[in-house]
Structure 1
Amino acid sequence: MVKPEATPRVVIYHQSHGHGETFVPLAPMIESGKLTHLVLAAVHINEDKTVTLNDHPHDDPYHDQLWAETRMVQEAGVPVLVMVGGWAPGTTDKLDGDQFDTYYPPLRDFLKAHQLQGIDIDVEQDMSLDVVIRLIDALRADFGREFDIILAPVASAMWGGANLSGFDYEELYRARGEEIDWVQIQFYSGFGELSDLRDVQRVIDRGVYPVDKLVLGAIGAPETGTGFVEIDQLCVTLSEVAARYPEIGGVDVWEYFNALPGGVAAPWEWIDRVHDALHAGADRVNALGLIPTPETVELGEGRLTLPRRVTVSGAPSAVDAVESALGTGTGIRLGEGDGALLTLVDDADIAAGGYRLKVDGSGIRVSATDRDGFLAAAHTLRQLFPEWASGPWPLPGAELSLPHVTISDAPRFAWRGLMLDVARHFEPLPALYRFLDQMAALKLNVLHLHLTDDQGWRFDVKGYPGLVRVGSWRTDTHVWTQKENDGTPHGGFYTQDQLRALVDYAQHRGITIVPEVDLPGHVRALLAAYPHFGDPAAERKPVATTFGVFDEVLHLDTDTVAMVEEIFTQLLDVFPSKRIHIGGDECPKTQWQASAAAAELATELGLARVEDLQNWFTDHMRDWLTERGRQAVAWDEVIDDHESPGTVIMSWRGHGPGVEALRRGQEAVMAPWHYTYLDQYQSEDQREPFAIGAFTSWQKVLGYDPALDVPADAPGTLLGVQGQLWSEYMPTAQAKEYMAFPRAAAIAEIGWAKQPAAEDDFFARLVVQGGRWDAAGINHRSVGGAKPWQMGGTGRLHRPEDHGGSPDPKPDEQ
């Protein structure tokens, strides 16, 4: 059993000692060593001078087990206090006026009888300030300095608002502040909230009670009272408070027995969660919110304040990289001048993409060996600035400062990517630029752009105008949860010049755009425009309005292959990336198997069976790209029954296909759907907006190791990891942002950091990062949960009951 730490305090009120007929044991609450104080409630002084604990005299045999287990708690190093007063009237009245000498002695004797270590004076009826002071003085005289004396005001009483106690808490503190160990402030029942920092800040801003004496009171479950804040959001608030005020006094809960998330079955989970949020939030490195986690961080004590015009020395390419990464939100303008505040140094000893960053009183020094390193350093630098610096424009009149710090860092993997499906739902061009900005800020360096699918064709190909005239739009969209199609046409495409500009923008931010034209399956949009490239006997069908896998595939004769080569010729002219994605996933063989023309074609190509047409096509495109100095990337189906050396395998059906590719000597990118598909539900909360199904939280992403089970002697190369945003059920840019963030940050973490952060630490950093996304106007999902306006509600985004679970991967899917 771990001895609890003194601060920040984690305090529980325990009133329902028996839940129904079942005694609530105290041992589990101290098992982790994270509880610091136990307050038993509620003590009442009666007319006959007896003292009761709830409904029974304190010395009644009913309480024998409670007092026995209380001693066990004390022996574990957790002080036990009692709450006197509360909502039930009578007790405070008896201590008021000339009755004090009559009713105080029974209270004193009760405290001594059970060797209690403190008292919570919970005044919820009018009581005079003089009597409260008299009670505090008497307790201190009788029990000494080691005895804890605390109070439990409603939050509004701490800023001069509604007050249940009848006296002024600020006056009390000025009179007896030294004798008050802390205050447990009730941020519930309509007197305050802990859903965000606002009410806590109101108390702190009064400047009366020291921050280390402020313990923030929460409700443990909705049925306990009004003002309940769900545990994830409560932990966000606690993390924010601790990051801003590491000396914060702590948190308490009313009450223990049914506190969520564990509820009656495991109320101690509340203790562990809030403890970890407070401690991780107060950590000085976590409070910086650096994502992904650098290799080493050494914090100094001072801060450096920068002017808006910063003098710089360094190579022009390095200056350009840093200026690009800092963005417009900082308001910084770099220029030459004497006594450079920012020094950029080329250092060949630093690993590719890595950097060293030092901030002290003399300025900022960045060392790197390449442009990617200077970009990464500048993005770290931007995270060290105030959150507003991540917005689109600087905050007028605000000071731009950052802590003294030394950071050494380098990436784990070369490929740290996100796939964005713009085919199922078109993404407006400005949203793509915005998406690239957020990727760069997280040091993600590959945008895999899924340009074509059954539901839409987004790449303008000269000589094939039907691809955009016909293939780029559909008449409507049908989602299985709705009885009818939505009746709304959907579409859009990108011109080649638009994409060239986007590629250049991405390159300036250290991001390579890898385009995907998905073939030979997923071609309904292509065949709607040019049906003769499909099976000669097949029925002509429109662009798909539903989602799923369709039987239609390309008929891979000479004319079709020439068309494909022309598409890729133009694709290569727009996208300079070394690697080009040719698709290859979910290609049914049904149409080929039923086709006389496909059988004849297979024979002409010397293939043993029509099912081998896809293998032939994969190798043809691999060789065609190789001849032009490029490399094919394909989804992992292409190696199911085939060797395709030289092709980069994107392992989506699990971790296993990627490992197999590495064993064969190929390059691989890990993208298993169980861990990296960001179109799945972010939580099991029934209020989440409708998604494709399954459940992938940021915690699940963070816990994934792309190098899992990769043999040390595997001849292939693990390029990295990638998250997937399939957009069937993400109709807008806002919806894609909600599904991407914060999980994209976890992808960045496991792709960059050699030792990814622990879950509690990453939570604290995501809280800080959330402020940056807010500044940038990103529709992210808070780690505290969806905002009311982000939930599915009861309309078309309603999550069907029990839709999406959290299945564990089968052994062969790992």
Structure 2
Amino acid sequence: MHFTAKIQGSHIACTITSDRALKSPTFCASLMAPGTVIAGGHLTRQVAGYLEVALPDLAPGEPHELTLAHENPGFVPRNRAWLPLGAYLRTQQGPIQLPPLEQGIRQAEAPRVPDHPGLRLIPQPQSWHPAPGETRFTTLDASHPAFAAADALARRRGIAPLIGPGPRVTVTLDPALQDDHEITIGPEITIRAGNEAAVFHAAITLLTLRETHGALPHGNLQDGPRFGYRGQHLDCARHFFAVETILKLLDLMALLKLNRFHWHFADDEAFRLQTTSTPEIWEKTALRGEGHAVPSVFGGGISSGGSYSKADVQRILTHAQALHIQVLPEIEVPAHSFCLNLAHPGLQDRADNRAEVSIQGYRDNIVNPALPETWAFLEPLALEVASLFPMGMIHLGGDELPPDAWAGSPEVTALKAREGLATHLDVQGWTMAKMAGYLAQHGIRTAAWEEATRGNQGGIGHDALIFSWTGQGEGIHAARKGHQVVMCPAQNTYFDIAHSPDPEDWGATWAGITPLEQVVNWKPVPDSAPDIADKVAGVEGCFWGEFTTQDVEMEPMVAPRILGLANKAWDRRDSVDGPSLRALAQAYGPLLDRIGWQRHRGGVNPGYTPGLP
């Protein structure tokens, strides 16, 4: 079999050449958004970006041309990520996987820039006072448990051990320092730190300086984080990432002093956590593709996916805790629930015409909050998920509600009358507040995306932590309503966004283009809103998996841009600009190579199976 695809203006030109005679096959694949057929076949089914196209009989060796486009004329293909993913043919003899297109970014090694003149360290310290001399060492004589954790990280990631014979390290705890620490580097090393996490961060600093400088420059370093929340998100619903990949990401986060892992394992496409209260949702949606409840959306191919057991959760939590990282789980309320509705009928009003369509093109992707069954389902699910994670917080989603949600539901019409709700946003705000109130009774704090604050009754309330993603305006609004806010503007911190405008590159483009420099081209507390400074809890980078079919494709999208995020989260002086970030990324390149982090391509390999790690 032979399959190619290329961008032709606003269209996608595909060529399928079969190695055998096939009678009336069906072409199955996924696009970035709902598609249509221009020529070469007949559209027979569509679910969001997934489409099925009836083809004529294919003769051996004779190319067949198929021309596709996105249904929305504004969705013009921008790069190779917009080409068909997970393409296969459904035939009378069974499904046949078509050869995968090249995936992942096509960025060459960046041109060399002058070395960073100061400490080659991300994040940059709060202050550094150099002294004459340096100490070259292979290992350090350090007995504190935090050094053991840093040493274990180094050993498992291919970095030279940190602990062994060498300069002596003396650690003193001073609770007055809280999260801060001070390192004095000379022939011996002394550390004063406010807590165990601060000692670990000091150990990471010493490990990093050994790798980026080859020695420890003498001097005094005072350091500590700007924000308590320093996060990285991973979408494991659109693509099932192996546990080992998650552990590797946690190690990278720890090397950059990030301390919150936002685990997004539930969305329209799958619910991947093996829950006890609602086993049907993960049993029916963990796999997608041919013959599964969820079709091959977002490059699932013939069959792909997986689920995370409670043993997997515990393994991730144990790993994270050793690195002083907390894990924030996320479910979705009330939208992004396509897979829930497939797996658990009864969450929608039977009398509703359900005419709403989500921004991704899904129908039936919202649950109905006016039904008792919805709450009998959601409350135990949310409580079980939250109870698995010691952070004591659960993210409830709350984003991208279709604009005409519940417009045809008599049950919601009655709910509006009872509760004084006028619009779909009012209904969502009421729903989020009800769920947050239930969880608060069990001692669990909630988080949600920015849309959760909307509605005529004040939105989610309950001291919810709000994530501002479309920009910073909604975050400012939420902060002025009294919420703590995590700033994660897509234009700067969404690492699934393309690095460059090159059509041969890879990535989403709806929020623009995000080169490395753009990750530091913003301020977590905007100059226009100094009054919200005490409400900004931190920042977060996000990686969404809509067009990821192999774990490795994530790596060059995240790093080196995560370096800029880490500095934004930590550096109180905000001292890194675009050129200095480029120089620091250059210094970190060998370290990323050493831990096996793919920086340049991350595309498919011969013989790969779409969707599998």
TM-score category, normalised to shorter length: 0.7 to 0.9
Please give the secondary structure, in 2, of the residue aligned with 1:341: strand
User: 1:401: how far off?
Assistant: 4.6
Distance 1:231 1:590 in 2: 41
**Residue 602 of structure 1 contacts residue 610 of structure 1 at CA under 8 Å; is this kept in 2?**
no
Q: Which string of whole-angstrom CA distances, capped at 9 and with x for unpartnered residues, describes residues 370-399 of structure 1?
A: 122112111111111136x9xxxxxxxxxx
Judged with a 3 Å threshold, the aligned counterparts in structure 2 of structure 1 residues 348 and 609 are, in CA distance, closer, same or farther, namely closer
1:235 partnered with 2:111? yes
Judged with a 3 Å threshold, the aligned counterparts in structure 2 of structure 1 residues 764 and 374 are, in CA distance, closer, same or farther, namely same
1:552 match = 365
**Residue 294 of structure 1 contacts residue 753 of structure 1 at CA under 8 Å; is this kept in 2?**
yes
User: 1:528: how far off?
Assistant: 0.9
User: 1:618: how far off?
Assistant: 0.7
User: 1:300: how far off?
Assistant: 3.9
Give the counterpart of 1:706 among 518, 524, 533.
524
User: 1:467: how far off?
Assistant: 1.0
1:496 partnered with 2:305? no
Distance 1:764 1:609 in 2: 50
Match for 2:313: what amino acid? Answer: L
Please give the secondary structure, in 1, of the residue aligned with 2:332: strand
2:549 match = 731
User: 1:606: how far off?
Assistant: 5.7
**Residue 353 of structure 1 contacts residue 368 of structure 1 at CA under 8 Å; is this kept in 2?**
yes
Judged with a 3 Å threshold, the aligned counterparts in structure 2 of structure 1 residues 618 and 630 are, in CA distance, closer, same or farther, namely same
Give the counterpart of 2:586 among 767, 776, 794.
767
Distance 1:408 1:378 in 2: 13
Distance 2:288 2:559 in 1: 29
Distance 2:583 2:419 in 1: 59
Distance 1:600 1:282 in 2: 63
Distance 1:764 1:369 in 2: 31
Please give the secondary structure, in 2, of the residue aligned with 1:510: coil
Q: Which string of whole-angstrom CA distances, capped at 9 and with x for unpartnered residues, describes residues 742-781 of structure 1?
A: 1111111111112231322221111011111111110124
Judged with a 3 Å threshold, the aligned counterparts in structure 2 of structure 1 residues 612 and 733 are, in CA distance, closer, same or farther, namely same
Please give the secondary structure, in 2, of the residue aligned with 1:519: coil
2:191 match = 366
Distance 1:577 1:296 in 2: 31
Give aligned-pair identity as a percent.
28
Judged with a 3 Å threshold, the aligned counterparts in structure 2 of structure 1 residues 591 and 410 are, in CA distance, closer, same or farther, namely closer
1:523 match = 337
User: 1:716: how far off?
Assistant: 5.8
User: 1:552: how far off?
Assistant: 2.6
1:377 partnered with 2:207? no
Aligned-CA RMSD value: 3.3
User: 1:629: how far off?
Assistant: 2.0
Judged with a 3 Å threshold, the aligned counterparts in structure 2 of structure 1 residues 607 and 660 are, in CA distance, closer, same or farther, namely closer
Judged with a 3 Å threshold, the aligned counterparts in structure 2 of structure 1 residues 447 and 701 are, in CA distance, closer, same or farther, namely same
Distance 1:722 1:492 in 2: 26
Match for 1:774: what amino acid? Answer: D
**Residue 356 of structure 1 contacts residue 407 of structure 1 at CA under 8 Å; is this kept in 2?**
yes
1:50 match = none
Q: Which string of whole-angstrom CA distances, capped at 9 and with x for unpartnered residues, describes residues 401-425 of structure 1?
A: 5333431111111111111111011
Give the counterpart of 2:412 among 591, 595, 598.
598
User: 1:325: how far off?
Assistant: 5.5
**Residue 445 of structure 2 contacts residue 464 of structure 2 at CA under 8 Å; is this kept in 1?**
yes
Give the counterpart of 1:717 among 525, 535, 538.
535
2:388 match = 574
User: 1:233: how far off?
Assistant: 4.8
User: 1:491: how far off?
Assistant: 1.6
Please give the secondary structure, in 2, of the residue aligned with 1:695: coil
Distance 2:507 2:111 in 1: 25
Judged with a 3 Å threshold, the aligned counterparts in structure 2 of structure 1 residues 562 and 468 are, in CA distance, closer, same or farther, namely same
Judged with a 3 Å threshold, the aligned counterparts in structure 2 of structure 1 residues 342 and 453 are, in CA distance, closer, same or farther, namely same
**Residue 353 of structure 1 contacts residue 376 of structure 1 at CA under 8 Å; is this kept in 2?**
no
Judged with a 3 Å threshold, the aligned counterparts in structure 2 of structure 1 residues 663 and 601 are, in CA distance, closer, same or farther, namely closer
1:664 match = 481
> Which runs of 5 or more structure 2 residues have no equivalent in the other structure?
1-105
**Residue 159 of structure 2 contacts residue 595 of structure 2 at CA under 8 Å; is this kept in 1?**
no
TM normalised by structure 1 equals 0.56
Match for 1:732: what amino acid? Answer: Q
Judged with a 3 Å threshold, the aligned counterparts in structure 2 of structure 1 residues 743 and 488 are, in CA distance, closer, same or farther, namely same
Judged with a 3 Å threshold, the aligned counterparts in structure 2 of structure 1 residues 564 and 345 are, in CA distance, closer, same or farther, namely same
1:502-541 paired onto structure 2 within 5 Å: 502-537=316-351
Please give the secondary structure, in 1, of the residue aligned with 2:182: strand
Judged with a 3 Å threshold, the aligned counterparts in structure 2 of structure 1 residues 444 and 549 are, in CA distance, closer, same or farther, namely farther
Distance 1:695 1:613 in 2: 34
Judged with a 3 Å threshold, the aligned counterparts in structure 2 of structure 1 residues 689 and 520 are, in CA distance, closer, same or farther, namely same
Distance 1:479 1:463 in 2: 27
Q: Which string of whole-angstrom CA distances, capped at 9 and with x for unpartnered residues, describes residues 461-512 of structure 1?
A: 11322112212222166679xxxx7742222110122112211211211111
Please give the secondary structure, in 1, of the residue aligned with 2:179: coil
1:345 match = 172
Please give the secondary structure, in 1, of the residue aligned with 2:331: strand
2:236 match = 422
Distance 1:384 1:608 in 2: 58
Distance 2:192 2:422 in 1: 58
Give the counterpart of 1:776 among 577, 590, 595.
595
Match for 1:742: what amino acid? Answer: P
Please give the secondary structure, in 2, of the residue aligned with 1:518: coil
User: 1:599: how far off?
Assistant: 2.0
1:247-646 paired onto structure 2 within 5 Å: 277-278=113-114, 281=115, 283=117, 285=118, 288-306=119-137, 308=139, 310-312=140-142, 318-320=146-148, 322-323=150-151, 326-328=154-156, 329-332=158-161, 334=163, 341-350=168-177, 352-361=178-187, 363-386=188-211, 401-475=215-289, 487-537=301-351, 547-548=360-361, 550-556=363-369, 557-588=371-402, 590-603=404-417, 605=419, 607-608=421-422, 612-642=426-456, 643=458, 644-645=460-461, 646=463
**Residue 312 of structure 1 contacts residue 343 of structure 1 at CA under 8 Å; is this kept in 2?**
yes
Match for 1:298: what amino acid? Answer: H
Distance 2:110 2:436 in 1: 52
Judged with a 3 Å threshold, the aligned counterparts in structure 2 of structure 1 residues 716 and 593 are, in CA distance, closer, same or farther, namely farther
> Which runs of 5 or more structure 1 residues have no equivalent in the other structure?
1-229, 237-276, 390-399, 782-786, 798-814
**Residue 599 of structure 1 contacts residue 610 of structure 1 at CA under 8 Å; is this kept in 2?**
no
Give the counterpart of 1:653 among 449, 458, 470.
470
**Residue 325 of structure 1 contacts residue 379 of structure 1 at CA under 8 Å; is this kept in 2?**
no
Distance 1:729 1:479 in 2: 10
Judged with a 3 Å threshold, the aligned counterparts in structure 2 of structure 1 residues 589 and 561 are, in CA distance, closer, same or farther, namely farther
Please give the secondary structure, in 2, of the residue aligned with 1:535: coil
1:743 partnered with 2:561? yes
Judged with a 3 Å threshold, the aligned counterparts in structure 2 of structure 1 residues 715 and 432 are, in CA distance, closer, same or farther, namely closer
**Residue 516 of structure 2 contacts residue 578 of structure 2 at CA under 8 Å; is this kept in 1?**
no
1:695 match = 513
**Residue 333 of structure 2 contacts residue 432 of structure 2 at CA under 8 Å; is this kept in 1?**
no
User: 1:460: how far off?
Assistant: 1.2
Match for 2:410: what amino acid? Answer: A
Judged with a 3 Å threshold, the aligned counterparts in structure 2 of structure 1 residues 473 and 486 are, in CA distance, closer, same or farther, namely closer
User: 1:664: how far off?
Assistant: 1.6
1:684 partnered with 2:560? no
User: 1:513: how far off?
Assistant: 0.9
User: 1:347: how far off?
Assistant: 2.1
User: 1:607: how far off?
Assistant: 4.1
**Residue 425 of structure 2 contacts residue 454 of structure 2 at CA under 8 Å; is this kept in 1?**
no
User: 1:616: how far off?
Assistant: 1.4
Please give the secondary structure, in 2, of the residue aligned with 1:641: coil
Comparing both chains, which one has the higher relative contact order based on Cα–Cα distances under 8 Å and sequence gaps of 6 or more? 2
Bigger CA radius of gyration: 1
Distance 2:520 2:258 in 1: 15
Distance 2:453 2:402 in 1: 15
TM normalised by structure 2 equals 0.73
